[in-house]
Chain A
Amino acid sequence: MATAPPVLAVEQLTVAFGGLTALDRVTFDVPHRSVVGLIGPNGAGKTTVFNAVSGVVRPRSGTLSRHGRPLRRHRPHHLPRLGISRMLQGLGLFSGMTVLENVMVGADPLATGRLPGMLTGLGRAPRDERRVRERAESALREFGVAHAAHALPGTLPYGVQKRVALARACVCGPELLLLDEPASGLSADEMSELAERVRAMRAYGSVLLVEHHMDLVMRVCDRVVVLDFGRVIADGTPDEVRADPAVERAYLGPAEGDSDDPAAGPAPEAHPTGEEADDGR
């Protein structure tokens, strides 16, 4: 696993909006088939990292590379063909389209036809359509939302909508999945289901996860990168990060650094890997 080049390598990434430096020489890797958490206080630059990886904002300097090949001047609509998929924080479901159609849009990179075929339904169009539909249907089954295939997303409970958005993001089997706060608004049960899904994604790809729920981050991540004011202040295993005093300071401020239950740490029972020496408890 360690020998494969990282799915995503971020090196010295600097993004500035006018005079404001949103990211300052950020460097980290997302290794092959791993889950990396990206955490930090509000305004630390987590979403800016996502936007730079998605091609929504252009970095001022630094490089992004995918499998060791540089990734530059890409546009958001190139992402699916690069094997990168992003689930938006607000889900971004298409409100006027059925759940099945929503996921079919996600499966669209499987289609290869061009405009004349799309206008006349000839050539590769029927095969494309069948392939996209079948893949979307199997993703709906996979994510347990097949019963809602012909419903409009707005008529469904939020947890179901979230699974639809996840199905749309995963329908093509991305090598790298960007998840922006997937746990917000979920119940405890839905969150553990999400945790299992995220961990299972390592079977075929990697996940970069922005999340405020430390419980979830510590449970599912192989590595955690901590951002504060656009800089990486910690990068390591969940346990290393939790024990890092700089992280505590970033979250709680320097005066309260020695309080007993830092926000960056999970509740003890939510800590599945107990084998590492954990000094605090």
Chain B
Amino acid sequence: MAPSTHRAPASDADPAAADSAPAATAPRPGRRAALRHPLVRHGLWAVAALAAVAALTAATGPVTDLRVANVGLHLLAVAGLQFLVGTSGQVSLGHGAFMFVGSYAMALLVVNVPAMPLAAGMAAACAAGCLAGLVVGAATARLHGPYLAGATLMLAVGLPAIALRFPDLLGGANGLAFATIGAPPFLAGAVDDTQWRAIVVWTVALIGLVVLATASAGRLGRHLRALRDDAAAASLSGVPVGRARVTAFVISAGAGSLAGACQAYVLGTATPSTYGLSLSLVLLAALVLGGLGSLWGAFWAALAIVYVEVAGTELAHALDLSTDVRNNLPVVFFGAVLITVVLAWPRGVHGALSALGRHRSTPLKTGDSR
């Protein structure tokens, strides 16, 4: 009746025999299996994307390089939010707060420990964000829907105010400014500082994306999507619902803080106003615009965050408006784009594109990985 009479507790003894059989019979098992491994598949995509970024930044000037870097770090931030909202179904209005944590962790480390290598700073900022995510996730694990959104909203409003509360340590409203490392000496002449920073940001972002894509496509992603769809049934199927929810929060916060660390690295400053409520709202709105449920959605979202604002600013300048109007026009423009896109394509840009090319698999899709 059942597929076989093995039971879960007793199944530890049989895997070796069961697993070796298909590998032994498949032709050229090593290479085929290696290419099918999610880490290898996602890693190849990441290498291709990094090559594209390097080529793009080499062909363009510093202004575009900075925007490319901005797209990269926002891509990582929105991908982290995607993991939380799209995969685990927990709506967070406080993702910007985790970027704040990463940004200030990075700034504090650079200011106080100048000898520290960049990679160690990034790792420490990510760890700080994960810790913050653990605390927040554990505190909100029993909240759902609007209550969770409300609690995370408090986080977005309250956390950046810490910088104002401790001006000696965190620099108050002016934040922390520091000198960031430019291109290494051996690349002098070939790669300028801005281009180098764009490449560093994209390297970090793509490492984060590979982890997120691998986690989404595998067991953890399945657990989270199951509890998103029906928590009671997921629990009865063996998914530890509370722990999985907190895990999603930790991973999402880790990605957000890594993005914040990248932003501090690119800007050379960490200021509280950068990570206010509006950032959190923009991240979530952009995710909806890009399309929930896929990392491609996060990509469109990151493009929208950077380039809709650029377009809005240029529009304001072109129209020669007063300063008050000019400062607010990009936000209005973003809102208008969001409303238009969601009205036209309720499932976001990615939803519309995948409806166009239905049945064609998208390699970074967070769903079934085959």
Contacts and interface: CB of A to CB of B under 8 A. Distances in A.
B96 interface: no
A95 interface: yes
Contact of A109 (B8, B229, B230): B8
A130 B3 CA distance: 15
Given A77-B241, A120-B39, A150-B368, A105 B223 contact: yes
Interface string A59-87: 00000000000000001111111110110
A119 B19 contact: no
Given A96-B229, A118-B218, A135-B3, A77 B239 contact: yes
A93 B230 CA distance: 7
B233 A94 contact: yes
Contacts of B232: 76, 88, 92
Interface string A125-151: 111111110110011001000000010
A258 to B, nearest CB: 41
A175 B222 contact: no
Looking at chain B's contact residues, is the secondary structure mostly helix, strand, loop, or mixed?
helix
A204 B5 contact: yes
A122 to B, nearest CB: 7
Identify which of A108, A109, A113, A127 gathers the most chain B CB atoms within 10 Å of its CB. Answer: A108
A173 B2 contact: yes
Interface residues on A, range: 35 or more
Contacts of A16: none
B18 A131 contact: yes
Interface in B241-285: 241, 247, 251
B12 A95 contact: no
A171 interface: yes
Interface string B1-27: 111111111011001001100100000
Contacts of B236: 54, 76-77, 79, 85-86, 88, 92
A126 B22 CA distance: 13
Contacts of B297: none
Given A94-B225, A150-B368, A168-B237, A113 B219 contact: yes
20 contacts: A80-B8, A81-B9, A94-B230, A94-B233, A94-B234, A96-B228, A96-B293, A100-B368, A108-B222, A108-B239, A118-B220, A119-B220, A120-B214, A121-B39, A121-B214, A126-B33, A132-B219, A170-B2, A173-B2, A201-B2
Interface of B: 1-9, 11-12, 15, 18-19, 22, 33, 37-39, 211, 214-215, 218-220, 222-223, 225-226, 228-230, 232-241, 247, 251, 293, 367-368
